[in-house]
Amino acid sequence: MGTENIFTLMYPARIIFGRGVIERLAEEILSLGKRALLVTGCSAMRKSGVLDRVSAIMKSAGVEFSLFDGVESDPSLETVNEGIEFIQRERCDVVIGLGGGSAIDVAKAIASIVKQPGTVWEYHRGKKIEKEGLPFIAVSTTAGTGAEITNNSVLMDREKLVKKSIRSPHMIAKVALVDPELTLSIPPRITAYTGMDAFVQALESYVTKTSNPITDTLALQAIEVIFHNLPKAVQDGGNIEVREKMALGSLLSAMAFSNSGLGAVHGLAHPIGAHFGVPHGLACAVLLPHVVGFNLKVRYEKFSQIAEKIGVEKTENLPCIIKKFLQRIGIPLDLRDYKITETDFSTIIAESRSNSMSKNPRQVSDGDLREILRRVI
């Protein structure tokens, strides 16, 4: 085997998937520590009843815990810093992230950085996490972001308007609980956004420069599952069988992209989200058909396999089929509502030159990126 065939896979020590697995949370906590910090968002988990259910599970098992529920969308470094100060006061020894990508990313950042020298700002600017932090359990309540699997935390420096990841093998969860029952209350719009995030992650994983045979298998299966079930989940969110398929598709997608990397869609989506408040899944969805069209000729065989999986006869029609798919699930085909102009392109392009962009299968010039952006504003 040549060096070009060497690859590494990193996952949580255990991934527990299925309906009702949230009931195992207390025993997982007690296997790792005595007092837990539960990290979640400001309101969604309360409104859905998930927070009450999780709290009851822990209380009935005698698990002591403190609640940190100040996580916002596109979480900031300030929020992580508040969480670190809070966990130090509460003397918790295990961290749980409950929610979507924002809550889980904040939880893993708190768990890892609380045991390191220096501040979260230093690690966001590139300082390496050198040692293991507190044990971390991820409980996903959306089928989309994949944060329960990944070794990074996407955070916003609000002062500099920079959205990027802190990344370390030490950030991987000890346990990831993926329970489709927790996704039943997600509203249609969020179902569409998070589902498209998972779909884009799977597609970019499959065609990226650094994919491997394992991630290819996972990504292609995820593409098929999500494409055929996301419209059903948007239309009938109370269908547990469809929600279970979406949770599985999201998990497969996360297991793929977390070990293969992504591409130009995610490279552009982060600065667009940071500067204009565009939800991440929406930005990814709108950019996808244009980036697929750009990359088509350099990964034609792989795009043909994607087309076959989702029932598209001519590979060249993929961008058009993706646009029709977005319309089916209520996602617009442009970002005109966010008032992005050509004068903003230089900033977006400069900040898009990320790890994701470097793995795009086709070299992307600034001019190429300008043309893609023109098509979505």
pLDDT digits 0-9 by tens, 346-363: 999 999 999 999 999 999
| Rg of the chain on CA atoms, in Å | 20
**Residues 227, 254 within the same domain:** yes
pLDDT of residue 295: 98
**Residues 154, 196 within the same domain:** no
pLDDT of residue 8: 87
**Residues 338, 233 within the same domain:** yes
**Residues 174, 321 within the same domain:** no
DSSP H or E stretch at residue 306:
helix 300-310
**Residues 230, 348 within the same domain:** yes
> For the purposes of burial, counting CB atoms within 10 Å of the CB of 327, is it exposed (0-12), middle (13-18) or buried (19 or more)?
exposed
pLDDT of residue 4: 61
Domain endpoint, select from 182, 216, 247: 182
**Residues 203, 149 within the same domain:** no
According to DSSP, residue 76 is labeled: B
**Residues 64, 210 within the same domain:** no
**Residues 134, 88 within the same domain:** yes
**Residues 20, 117 within the same domain:** yes
> For the purposes of burial, counting CB atoms within 10 Å of the CB of 277, is it exposed (0-12), middle (13-18) or buried (19 or more)?
exposed
Domain endpoint, select from 182, 209, 235: 182
**Residues 146, 198 within the same domain:** no
Domains contained in the chain, number = 2
What single-letter amino acid sits at 213? Answer: P
Average pLDDT for consecutive 10-residue bins of the chain (377 residues)? Answer: 69 95 96 96 87 95 95 94 97 96 96 96 95 96 92 92 91 97 95 97 97 97 98 97 98 96 96 94 98 97 97 96 98 96 97 95 97 97
Distance CA 281, CA 354 (A): 18
Helix (H, G, I), strand (E, B) or coil at 68: strand
Q: Could you report how far apart the first and last alpha carbons of the chain are, in Å?
A: 46
What single-letter amino acid sits at 20? Answer: G
Distance CA 167, CA 334 (A): 31
Name residues whose C-beta falls within 8 Å of residue 315's C-beta, 6 or more positions apart in sequence: 296, 300, 303, 304, 307
**Residues 276, 227 within the same domain:** yes
Residue 222: domain span: 187-376
DSSP H or E stretch at residue 212:
none
pLDDT of residue 1: 35
Is the CB of residue 206 less than 8 Å from the CB of residue 360?
A: no
pLDDT of residue 14: 94
CATH number, position 28: 3.40.50.1970
pLDDT of residue 59: 95
Query: How many other CB atoms are there within 10 angstroms of residue 8's CB atom?
Result: 7
**Residues 175, 236 within the same domain:** no
Domain endpoint, select from 182, 217, 251: 182
pLDDT of residue 2: 42
The per-residue pLDDT for range 70-123, each reduced to its tens digit, is 899 889 999 999 999 999 999 999 999 999 999 999 999 999 999 999 999 999
CATH number, position 224: 1.20.1090.10
Helix (H, G, I), strand (E, B) or coil at 154: strand
